[in-house]
Amino acid sequence: MKHIRNFCIIAHIDHGKSTLADRLLQTTGTISDRDMQAQALDNMDLERERGITIKSHAIQMNYKFEGQEYVLNLIDTPGHVDFSYEVSRSIAACEGALLIVDATQGIEAQTISNLYLALEHDLEIIPILNKMDLPSANPEEVTDQIVELIGCDPNDVIPASGKTGLGVDDILRAIIERIPAPKGDEEGQLQAMIFDSVFNPFRGIIAYYRVKNGVIKKGDRVRFLNTGKDYNADEVGILKMDLSPKKEVRAGDVGYIISGIKTAKEVKVGDTITLTADPCEVPIKGFEDVKPMVFAGIYPVETDEYEELRYSMEKLQLNDSSLVFEPESSAALGFGFRCGFLGMLHMEIIQERLEREFNMTVITTVPNVSYYCYTTRNPEVKLLVNNPSELPDPSSLDHIEEPYIKAQVITKSEYIGQIMSLCIEKRGELKNQVYLTQDRVELSFEMPLAEIVFDFYDRLKSVSRGYASFDYHPIGYKTSDLIRMDILLNAEQLDALSALVHRSNAYDLGKRICVKLKELIPRQQFEIPIQAAIGAKIIARETIKALRKDVTAKCYGGDISRKRKLLEKQKEGKKRMRQVGKVEIPQEAFMAVLKLN
């Protein structure tokens, strides 16, 4: 155990975590130069394309330092706020963290939120100033920021470049010299914490864990404490570039277990593995059942593809336990599923994976958060509502609660004004304002999560010209004056477009949604009224004028090939159209609320 070091890398997105991880793998010979493929750790296509790490992974490196062999376990963490629970578990599996800061950018929101997580778990922090090869690097100022933030000696900050390899040897030395070896009792009862799992189509679920105490052996009967289920440890081992089976994995080390588990749901990140025959009494602390934060309907474009969609979602769920779904039906869209996601990015990823990996064309409805409703008849009982159209009748409602978040924005001082007005417009309340340096400031807000779902990122980016980073975490539910706004198209209510909105901006929002829908829904053979309503009361109206002529009319009937082309083009355009009553509605219209001008 003395020669093991467990560490993670934390950084704001794009500060160079994956690149530096690759350099460490290369320098320690874990991966040969020939096999080196940019960003070896991000092995899902989608991750590589988007340049983000979605799932965390772990890898063991062997490194000889001053004549002594060391085992260095690098635990990679996802870099996006949607996956912050996974980040916290990965951090809990380590004794140290490399804190990477881009020397051209300085400290950003995720640098700070991840650092706080690491400090909560008493991790030894090794600050790294990355991208030193760039001429625009600003080492003095960024070093000051880091020193100010973590209270270290300026000499502790390691200048580095994932690109040129500068500083990599210093980083390896710091990992060995500064990060403490794991503590734990090899003779004690088995206690191993699961920090991640992956689905393998041939072997089932592979769970990754850090052994805190005891030893896990191949063939052991083990118990997952929080789910209470027992399994056979068919295979245990350590993680190299591939799985490397071993007879046992001992306290302090990081390993994997294969035990015939078929679905990701059974393996909960944060759960404790122990021996069935000699179980430890208390689970490792910090376990949480992750709850979806954002909900939306997913419907097949072709109604007869419902079963295929169900099959695809079940497959996706095998390797993504944070995806939840249940069947729902919509008067407008027919049969589909109400899905729960960790956040907006997670939602986009699921939609994209359905299309890429399963070749499904789907319609996603406006996302919403989940609400607690209290009725006047039974004010003690809270009802969880994940779909605005399921809201109890307003006359029977006592009050509604919605989820709130604490948000951190880091920006240049010149944008404070605009960002404050944006946050106030989004029903936020400024809680704190701290200057990190003369012209960089950290703003803390409390605001409703629902407002983040509705085009917050784009607005923030535009008011700050890109000079703002943002992070948040949930802080619980608060009472809000919310009402349901319905949308009627051609006098028919479109349930998929109903939304819960704050009473104070219902009129304005209703107007803007109608205008946007008018823009998005193509003109058809007849006039289509668009209305926004609260209960029976119409609060806004727009009209889509009827088309004068048939589109094919201008082909003079003669030119067949042109006519066919035009029809094919129309068909193409129809791909994401849904016929609702008499009206054809494109996918964008279902998301109109998110893209209001």
Which of 16, 182, 204, 343 is close enough to bind ligand GDP by CB under 6 A? 16
| 492-493 and 528-534 strand pairing | unpaired
Q: How many CA atoms lie within 13 A of 52 on its CB side?
A: 15
Q: Is 19 in the site for ligand GDP (CB under 6 A)?
A: yes
- Minimum Å gap between C-beta 346 and ligand GDP is 17
Residue 130 marked ligand-binding: yes
Residue 16 marked ligand-binding: yes
In the complex with Mg ion, which residue's Cβ is closer, 78 or 270?
A: 78
In the numeric block, which tokens belong to residue 346?
């997670």
In the complex with Mg ion, which residue's Cβ is closer, 53 or 321?
A: 53
Which of 17, 212, 516, 578 is close enough to bind ligand GDP by CB under 6 A? 17
Residue 359 marked ligand-binding: no
Quickly tell me which residue has 């944070």 as its tokens. 322
Of residues 532, 526, 480, the one with CA closest to residue 510: 532
Which of 48, 50, 163, 518 is close enough to bind ligand GDP by CB under 6 A? 163
Q: What is the rounded distance in angstroms from the CA atom of residue 290 to the CA atom of residue 365?
A: 23
Q: Count of residues binding Mg ion (CB under 5 A)?
A: 2
Residue 388 is given by DSSP the state G
Contact 227, 280 (CB under 8 A): no
In the complex with Mg ion, which residue's Cβ is closer, 18 or 145?
A: 18
Q: Is 133 in the site for ligand GDP (CB under 6 A)?
A: yes
Residue 537 marked ligand-binding: no
Residue 18 marked ligand-binding: yes
Return the number of other C-beta atoms located less than 10 Å from residue 64's C-beta.
10
Residue 219 is given by DSSP the state T
Enumerate residues 6+ apart whose C-beta is below 8 A from 124. Answer: 95, 96, 97, 178, 179, 180
Residue 19 marked ligand-binding: yes
Residue 193 marked ligand-binding: no
Residue 213 marked ligand-binding: no
Contact 223, 275 (CB under 8 A): yes
Q: Return the range that interacts with ligand GDP (CB under 6 A); candidates 13-21, 80-88, 374-382, 554-562.
A: 13-21
Q: Count of residues binding ligand GDP (CB under 6 A)?
A: 17
**Dihedral sign of CA atoms 353, 59, 20, 128 in order:** positive
Q: Is 90 in the site for Mg ion (CB under 5 A)?
A: no
The CB-nearest residue to Mg ion is: 18
Of residues 71, 68, 127, 120, the one with CA closest to residue 97: 127
| 68-75 and 4-11 strand pairing | parallel
Enumerate residues 6+ apart whose C-beta is below 8 A from 176. Answer: 5, 63, 65, 70, 72
Could you give the string, one character per residue 36-55, with x where binding to ligand GDP holds by CB under 6 A and - elsewhere? ---------------x----
Q: Is 321 in the site for Mg ion (CB under 5 A)?
A: no
φ and ψ at 157, to 5 degrees? -80, 125
Q: Is 162 in the site for ligand GDP (CB under 6 A)?
A: yes
Residue 315 marked ligand-binding: no
Q: Return the range that interacts with Mg ion (CB under 5 A); candidates 2-10, 18-26, 322-330, 353-361.
A: 18-26
Q: Return the range that interacts with ligand GDP (CB under 6 A); candidates 131-139, 259-267, 332-340, 414-422.
A: 131-139
Which of 8, 10, 12, 18 is close enough to bind Mg ion by CB under 5 A? 18
Residues from 48 through 77 that contact Mg ion (CB under 5 A): 53
Residue 133 marked ligand-binding: yes
In the complex with ligand GDP, which residue's Cβ is closer, 11 or 87?
A: 11
Contact 562, 553 (CB under 8 A): no
Q: Is 114 in the site for Mg ion (CB under 5 A)?
A: no
φ and ψ at 282, to 5 degrees? -110, 140
The three-class DSSP label of residue 393 is coil
Which of 36, 119, 134, 331 is close enough to bind ligand GDP by CB under 6 A? 134
In the complex with Mg ion, which residue's Cβ is closer, 48 or 121?
A: 48
Q: Helices marked H in 219-343 — which ranges? A: 306-319
Q: What is the rounded distance in angstroms from the CA atom of residue 516 to the CA atom of residue 279?
A: 59
Q: Is 464 in the site for Mg ion (CB under 5 A)?
A: no
Site residues for ligand GDP per CB under 6 A: 11, 13-19, 51, 79, 130-131, 133-134, 161-163
What residue numbers does the annotated binding site cover? 14-19, 130-133
